[in-house]
Amino acid sequence: MRRGVLRSLRVLAGTVVAGTVGVLAGQEPESYETKSPGVARGLSFLGTAVLTGASAAFALAEGTAVPLVFGGLVLGPVLGYVYAGEARRGIVHAGIRAAVIGVTAGAAFLICSERNCDLLAGAGPELGLAMAVVAAGGAITAFLIGRDIIRVGDQVRARSQRLGAVSVQPAYFPESRSGGLVFSWRH
């Protein structure tokens, strides 16, 4: 046991002295590339604008609004998160936007399903309530999209700081069949 720990310490000391990530058998260091917060924001904005525009054109041609919802409004800002290396966070935020849009559409549908919401036949007060629900859902969705476009740059900056800092990770050293810690920093 002591011999394995001493071997691990020796490998660790070599890693710390070298000042880089020690590549051990079966382990690869996480790739590190400095990303631009401005590029991430731009990609999120362009992804939203282009996908929404393309989806709107498709919706007008096909007569349905479903592609518009899943095109730019839900998936648009994810492009910046993918560039930033935070794809999981982007998908979570897309899920939140999809849920807000789904609840809004569901509530408007329930309000109008058995009531007088027909514009051509002289709509009743239910149409006003349904429109208020749609306006509130649209405002919340717009806020979430704007927040994601702005915050993706902060995520890039935070990720770069995390990857550029000193890290301590548990490791298994197969040559000595023992566990240990790997200290690394990037500069």
Give the mean pLDDT of 146-160: 87
Which of 83-92, 106-115, 130-139 shows the lowest mean pLDDT across its residues?
Answer: 106-115
Joined together, the tokens standing for residue 25 give 């058998």
Closest CA to 150 of 32, 33, 48, 70: 48
Helices (H), the chain: 2-18, 37-62, 66-68, 74-75, 78-84, 87-113, 125-164
Position 115 scores a pLDDT of 67
pLDDT digits (tens, 9 = 90+) for 42-64: 999 998 888 888 877 877 787 76
pLDDT digits (tens, 9 = 90+) for 61-101: 877 666 666 778 888 889 998 888 888 999 999 999 999 99
Position 130 scores a pLDDT of 84
pTM > 0.75: yes or no? no
Which of 3-12, 44-53, 102-111 shows the lowest mean pLDDT across its residues?
Answer: 3-12
Query: Comparing 119 with 75, which gets the higher pLDDT?
Result: 75
Question: If you write DSSP's letter for every residue of 123-166 in order, what string do you get?
Answer: --HHHHHHHHHHHHHHHHHHHHHHHHHHHHHHHHHHHHHHHHS-
Q: What are phi and psi of 67, to 5 degrees?
A: -60, -30
Helix or strand holding residue 69 (H, E): none
User: In angstroms, rounded to a whole number, what is the distance separating the alpha carbons of residues 133 and 105?
Assistant: 9
Token pair 């899920």 is at which residue?
Answer: 95
User: In angstroms, rounded to a whole number, what is the distance separating the alpha carbons of residues 3 and 178?
Assistant: 9
| pLDDT-above-70 percentage for the chain | 68
Mean pLDDT rounded to a whole number for the chain: 76
Task: Answer whether residue 183 shows pLDDT above 80.
Answer: no
C-alpha dihedral sign at 124, 129, 133, 135: positive
